[in-house]
Each structure stands twice: as structure tokens, then as C-alpha cells.
Structure 1
Amino acid sequence: MLDRTVLRDRIKDLIIERILDGTYGPGDRIREMALATELGTSQAPIREAMRDLEAMRFIESVPYKGARVRMVTTAELAETYPVRATLEELAGTMAATHVDPDLLAGLQAELDAMRRCAQAGELHEQLAHDARFHELIVEAAHNSVLLDAWRGLRIEARTLVTVIKSDADLVSIAETHQVILDAVRAGDPAALGRELRGHIEMFAARLFAHAETGAGSES
């Protein structure tokens, strides 16, 4: 039997995937009972997943009407990137003084996993390793306030939305992490902070470029 937290996360991922592929459109109601029946589970983990999704602003609760899908706009998504870039730059400058073999091994393992998932086209799995790669660096900063703020951005889910909206190449995404790992090995605080900020800003630029191209093609 799956751990309740794991089950909740799987349900959450499933709902996000359905929102992004159009199975659940903006304004559609997500019915807890129907999902519980479909997945063969109780309503408790469904309800927990829905609370997480509401906090992430993928859905909204409407009085007397239940939970409905929100439109996730490019503009709204883009608001997180300057915040994330600032947090990760700070984390990098702090983590560079705490580099040890365990951190390097952990980062290499996550990068290797990203590469395997990219080759196999396993989007969700790759982005889980992507998020963990960055989380390891933030953890290495040894600042709980910084870590809580970073985790509050729901990095994995927002990265997933960005990748799908920008139609980014999974292999190229994985490879962008090599320069970050090289900077960690070098142990230079300014360089690591700069690489992390540049990495996040690159993602934001891809998102905007794709949005502008899409808008132009529709005009």
C-alpha cells in the first residue's frame, strides 16, 4: 500500500497533468468522489492533493460549487522567476562555502538521472530530479528561512508548467545543469550565484519568447 504522502503527491501530479493536457479545462469542476472512485482510494488523499493545488493556484474553491480549474497564465507564472532567481543566487553564494563530497555526489546523481529521463522522454520524473538538484544546493546554504521560502514557490510544479508552455527540449534542459555543477565544484560563491541566477533567467526568457511567438502566430 502506498504511503499517504506519496499517494497525495501522485494524485496531485495526475491532476496537474490533466490540467496541462486539457483534460480539465479552465472553469471545469474537479469532483473528489469521481476521482476517488476512478483511482480506487478514499477521498482523504484527494482532498489533501486539492488543498495543495489550491495553494499552488492551479485550482480555486468556489462556495457551493466545489473546486474548479484556474487558468494558469504566462504572466502569473513569470512572476515567480525574479523571486526564484534572487533566492537561488543567494543560496549559491552561501552554499559554495559548504561544498563537500556528499553534495557533489548528490548533484551528480540527480544530473545523471535527469539525463536518463530526458533520453526516455520521462518529463515528470526528469523535473522531479531537476527540482531536487536545485533543492540540494539550497539545503547546502544551511539557512532554514531561505529553504522555506524556496520550497514555498512549488518549484517542480511551476517548472513543469513552464516546460510544457515553452515546449522546451528535455535533453537541453538537463545539460544546462552541468555548468552549475562545475561552479559548485569550483567553490566560488560569486560564480555559483551567478550561474544559478543565469539558469533561472534563461528559463524565464524561454517562457516569454514562446509566449510572444504564440501571440504573434495568432494575430
Structure 2
Amino acid sequence: MNSTPTAPLLRTGLADQIREFIVDGISSGRWEPGERIVERRIAAELGVSQGPVREALRQLEAQRLIESLPNRGARVRDFTEEDLGEIFPVRAGLERTAVELALPRLAGCADALESANRELQRAAESGDLAAQMRLSIVFHRHVVETAGNRLLMSVWESLGIELWTTLSLRVHRTEIYSKSAEHAELIAAFRRQDPDAARMLHDHVMNYAP
């Protein structure tokens, strides 16, 4: 495990911040599938006690991102295509519901979505895969936020979208570069208040799945 400088964490929502730190580490390949995640090392690196680290690991285990083994501690799960096949229908269903709730307001957000999509297209043209993934998720998060349903947003965030998208790229070889064209079609559907827009977004998300 490489040692990298880490910014001090705020004391509010400490376990959530530690969880995001670990998720980022798994997404970037710092911790590979099967590798142990040692509580005391993370606590020492972040300058916190082991309590919130343990809580963050419990949250990640509930999200099926890590597993705890008797007498062996926590480790990153070995992710499979079956895992991806389970997560993306759930995500697609949530985003379909988001569009159904948000459609009257999405036309007013179209300019912001187009701006994000132009950045995605530029990232695709330059071959910046990390930026493509980040900007694609920005687009989807904006749609879900526009629904204005806090429970829906919370459940969507709890899926660990960034990590599962990264794993889709690694395991399933999903191609991100074509997504900006699909996003453009979705924006056009939002502008015209197309009642089929929810199904279109559902199918778009399912393209990430095995």
C-alpha cells in the first residue's frame, strides 16, 4: 500500500469521510481486490482513532465493497460480473424514477447538463479516462438531484456509483467514450419533455452492465 499525503479530516461526519477515502483508494487501484485494509494503518495515516475507521468499514461491508473474515480482518471483495449484474439494474431503476419525478424541471437544467456533456466529450477526445468517468457521474448525479427526493438521492449515493463504474470499466471493459452522444440524446428528450425519457435513461445505465 502506497503512502500518499492526506488532507486533515473534519470531525463532523468522520466515518463518512473515511468511507469515501477508502472508496477512492479502491477505485484508483490503491487497494486491489483481495487486499487487506488495515484499520490501524488508515487511522494513523488520517490522524484519527480506529473507531470511525471501523464504522466506515462496517458501512462498506453493508455496501458489499469489502468483506470481513474471522481472524483476518477486512479486505476488498473480489468483484465479479455477477456483482455488476446485480448493481446496475438497481441503479437504472433509481435513475428511471428520478427522471419520472424530475421531468417537469429537467428542461430548465438542460443548459447545465449540456455544459457537463461538452466537458465529457473533450475528455473523451483527449483520452482522459478518469475525467470521462467523473464527468459521466456528474451528469447522472445532476439528474438525480433534480428529482428533489432526499431518500432517492441517499440510496443512489449509497450504491457507490464511482466505484462500480470503475469496476465496470475494469471487469466488463465498458466504453465510456460513446456516452456523450447518449447524453446528448437524453438532454434533447428532457428539453422536449419526452415521456419516454425515463426509459431512455434506464437503458443508458444498463449499457454499463455485463
- Band of TM-score, shorter chain: 0.7 to 0.9
State the partner residue of 1:15: 26
Q: Distance in 2 between matches of 1:125 and 1:74?
A: 24
Which residue number corresponds to residue 3 of structure 2? none
> Residue type of the partner of 2:28?
E
Q: How does 1:39-78 map to 2 (within 5 A)?
A: 41-43=46-48, 47=53, 50-78=57-85
SS in 2 for 1:203: coil
Q: Displacement of 1:72 after TM fit? A: 1.0
In structure 2, what is the Cα distance between the partners aligned to 1:107 and 1:196?
A: 14
In structure 2, the CA distance between the partners of 1:116 and 1:36, relative to structure 1 (3 Å rule), is farther
TM-score, normalised relative to structure 1 = 0.74
1:24 aligns with 2:32: yes
Q: More helix by proportion, 1 or 2?
A: 1
Q: Does 1:96 align with 2:103?
A: yes
Q: 1:70-98 deviations in whole A, cap 9, x for unaligned?
A: 11111122112222222222221221111
The Cα offsets for residues 130-156 of structure 1, whole Å up to 9 and x where unpaired, read as 222112112222222322232232222
**Conserved 8 A contact 1:33-1:43:** no
- Give the one of 196, 210, 218 matched to 2:201: 196
Identical aligned residues as a percent: 31
Sort the Cα spacing of 1:183 and 1:125 in 2 relative to 1 into closer, same or farther, 3 A: same
- 1:197-216 correspondence to structure 2 within 5 Å: 197-204=202-209, 207=210
1:110/1:132 contact within 8 Å kept: yes
Report what 2:137 is aligned to: 131
- Segments of 5+ residues of structure 2 without an aligned counterpart are 1-5, 11-15
Q: Distance in 2 between matches of 1:83 and 1:17?
A: 24
Letter in 2 for 1:107: L
The total of aligned residue pairs comes to 197
The CA distance in 2 between the partners of 1:203 and 1:108, in whole Å, is 21
- Distance (whole Å) between structure 1 residues aligned to residue 111 and residue 38 of structure 2: 43
With over 3 angstroms needed to count, the CA separation of the structure-2 counterparts of 1:4 and 1:35, relative to structure 1, is closer
The CA RMSD over aligned residues, in Å, is: 2.9
AA aligned opposite 1:194: R
CA distance in 2, matches of 1:2, 1:109: 30
| Counterparts of 2:159 and 2:85, CA distance in 1 | 12
**Corresponding residue SS for 2:71:** coil
In the alignment, structure 1 segments of 5+ residues that lack a partner are: 208-219
Q: What corresponds to 1:213 in structure 2?
A: none
Change (3 A) 1:11 1:69: closer
Distance 1:104 1:161 in 2: 29
| Structure-2 change in CA distance of 1:176 and 1:3 (3 Å) | farther
CA distance in 1, matches of 2:73, 2:120: 37
| 2:92 counterpart residue number | 85
Offset at 1:161?
A: 0.9
Query: 1:43-86 CA distances to partner (integer Å, 9 max, x unpaired)?
Result: 55992764554343221123432211211111122112222222
Q: Quote the Cα distance in structure 2 between the aligned partners of 1:43 and 1:164.
A: 32
> Is the contact between residue 121 and residue 170 of structure 1 (CA under 8 Å) also seen in structure 2?
no
